[in-house]
Amino acid sequence: MFYALVLISFMDIVEEDDMNDKDWTILKTLSEEKNITKAAERLYISQPALTYRLKSIEKEFDTEIVIRTPNGIIFTPQGDYLLAYTEEMMLRLRETKEKIQDMEDNVQGTLRIGASSVFVHYELPQILKGFIEKYPQVDIILKTGLSEQINKMLQKNDISVAISRGDYLWQEEKHLLKEEPICLVSDCEIEFENLINRHQITYKTDSSLQDVLENWCHQTFSHPLRATIEVDSMDACRQMVQHGLGWAILPANGLKDNSNLYTKELFWDNGVPLQRKTWVMCRNSSLNISIVRVFIDYLKNSI
């Protein structure tokens, strides 16, 4: 049975000699995994089938595309050039499919969204639920991560719509969804001058917020703070504070339904409040696709 499955996958991938969209997917996956075995697993094909197809591509172009090393594979200069072509063709194919789907009267097709993990955790599920109920012919592909990762996805055209937190340079379509205060959070009321006597609890976040918090602390405290407790998420940070292990600085979005905590909005020395902004962004050309345009309008109205 296993032999039959391997044989079928092998035949599927070698049925054509010329380079095609399956090969584009192979090269892109290899560039991401840097390992033939892992790439084959991700593509649900056998390793011999993947190796055979890779050799066929090299034969077609009469050049070596990758170099095998003990630690994986490395693309040659020729391979990097072919990879750039592959990514361009995959983008064109995706845009063509989206444009053809957009020619129908109904809002339908695949919408590729990248969103900040915090926004996904607290707000996006309810928004997507309402959107899909209104437009049931839409398929959602969602990628999450830190805001700086989401912005890189948008720059690389991996997503059509980006929802990110913080201020990032983006010259094309960009709308402010909301602003929220950044707060001092503790299990009990505490003055600034007493913070240096308690542990600060920090969490992994993107560099834009990290810079804001570090600058505020340098402006506010004349002495170094005590050694911090560092955790991997806003939720874990809040839990530490709730158990009296220290204080933290958190955006208000992460404090919903936590009325038992002491919170105090923070300000710069000039009286300007510390705030965390949430943006929705896309390329100008993406607004020509109705599914993108409709989702952004729905998102803005929901917020």
- Same domain for 205 and 227, yes or no, is yes
Helix (H, G, I), strand (E, B) or coil at 45: coil
- The mean per-residue pLDDT over the stretch 204-212 comes to 87
In the prediction, which pLDDT does 255 show?
82
More confident residue, 220 or 172: 172
The residue among 28, 60, 91 that closes a domain is: 91
Q: Is 20 a domain residue? A: yes
Helix (H, G, I), strand (E, B) or coil at 183: strand
What angle is formed at CA 110 by the lines to CA 175 and CA 26, rounded to 5 degrees? Answer: 110
Sign for the CA dihedral angle at 149, 154, 159, 164 comes to positive
Q: What does the alpha-carbon distance between residue 18 and residue 60 come to, in Å, rounded to a whole number?
A: 7
120-126 long-range contacts (CB < 8 A, ≥24 apart) are 120/144, 121/235, 122/253, 122/254, 122/256, 123/253, 123/303, 124/163
pLDDT above 70 (res 5): no
Looking only at the bridges linking them, the beta strands covering 109-116 and 72-75 are unpaired
In the prediction, which pLDDT does 93 show?
83
Q: What mean pLDDT is reported for the chain?
A: 86
**Terminal CA-to-CA distance of the chain, rounded, Å?**
53
- Same domain for 46 and 7, yes or no, is yes
- CATH number of the CATH domain containing 58: 1.10.10.10
Closest CA to 60 of 27, 93, 92: 27
Give the model confidence (pLDDT) of 216-271 as tens digits: 988 888 877 776 889 988 889 999 999 999 999 999 987 876 668 999 999 999 99
Give percent of the chain with pLDDT exceeding 70. 91
Among 69-73, 92-96, 124-128, the least confident range: 92-96
Q: What does the alpha-carbon distance between residue 142 and residue 267 come to, in Å, rounded to a whole number?
A: 35
- Residue pair 147/116 in contact (Cβ under 8 Å)? The answer is yes
Give percent of the chain with pLDDT exceeding 90. 52
- Same domain for 33 and 86, yes or no, is yes
Containing H/E element for 259?
Answer: none
- Same domain for 263 and 133, yes or no, is no
Q: Give the predicted TM-score (pTM) of the model.
A: 0.67
Q: What does the alpha-carbon distance between residue 21 and residue 7 come to, in Å, rounded to a whole number?
A: 21
Domains held by the chain: number = 3
Q: Which residues of 40-50 are buried (b: 16+ CB within 10 A; e: fewer)?
A: beebebbeebb
- Same domain for 30 and 40, yes or no, is yes
pLDDT above 80 (res 297): yes
pLDDT above 50 (res 2): no
In the prediction, which pLDDT does 289 show?
85
- Same domain for 285 and 174, yes or no, is yes
Q: What does the alpha-carbon distance between residue 26 and residue 42 come to, in Å, rounded to a whole number?
A: 10
- Same domain for 18 and 84, yes or no, is yes
In the prediction, which pLDDT does 251 show?
92
**Of the ranges 18-22, 206-210, 254-258, which is most confident?**
206-210
The residue among 91, 117, 144 that closes a domain is: 91
- Same domain for 29 and 142, yes or no, is no
Domain containing 129 equals 106-178+278-302
Q: Is 6 a domain residue? A: yes
The residue among 48, 66, 91 that closes a domain is: 91
- Same domain for 126 and 239, yes or no, is no
In the prediction, which pLDDT does 220 show?
86
Token pair recorded at residue 249: 């600085």
- Same domain for 268 and 287, yes or no, is no
Token pair recorded at residue 35: 């390992």
pLDDT above 70 (res 87): yes
Q: What does the alpha-carbon distance between residue 68 and residue 47 come to, in Å, rounded to a whole number?
A: 14
* Number of neighbours of residue 203 by Cβ within 10 angstroms: 22
Q: What does the alpha-carbon distance between residue 273 and residue 292 come to, in Å, rounded to a whole number?
A: 33
* pLDDT category of residue 101 using cuts at 50, 70 and 90: low
* pLDDT category of residue 210 using cuts at 50, 70 and 90: confident
251-254 long-range contacts (CB < 8 A, ≥24 apart) are 251/118, 251/165, 251/180, 251/181, 251/182, 251/183, 251/209, 251/276, 252/180, 252/181, 252/182, 252/183, 252/276, 253/118, 253/119, 253/122, 253/123, 253/180, 254/118, 254/122
Report phi then psi at 70, rounded to 5.
-60, -25
- Same domain for 19 and 163, yes or no, is no
Give the model confidence (pLDDT) of 113-165 as tens digits: 999 999 999 899 999 999 999 999 899 999 999 999 999 999 988 999 999 99
Q: Is 96 a domain residue? A: no
In the prediction, which pLDDT does 204 show?
87
Alpha helices in 123-206 (DSSP H): 124-134, 147-155
* pLDDT category of residue 102 using cuts at 50, 70 and 90: low
The number of residues in the chain equals 303
Q: Is 100 a domain residue? A: no
pLDDT above 80 (res 27): yes
More confident residue, 133 or 101: 133
Q: Is 57 a domain residue? A: yes
- Same domain for 128 and 19, yes or no, is no
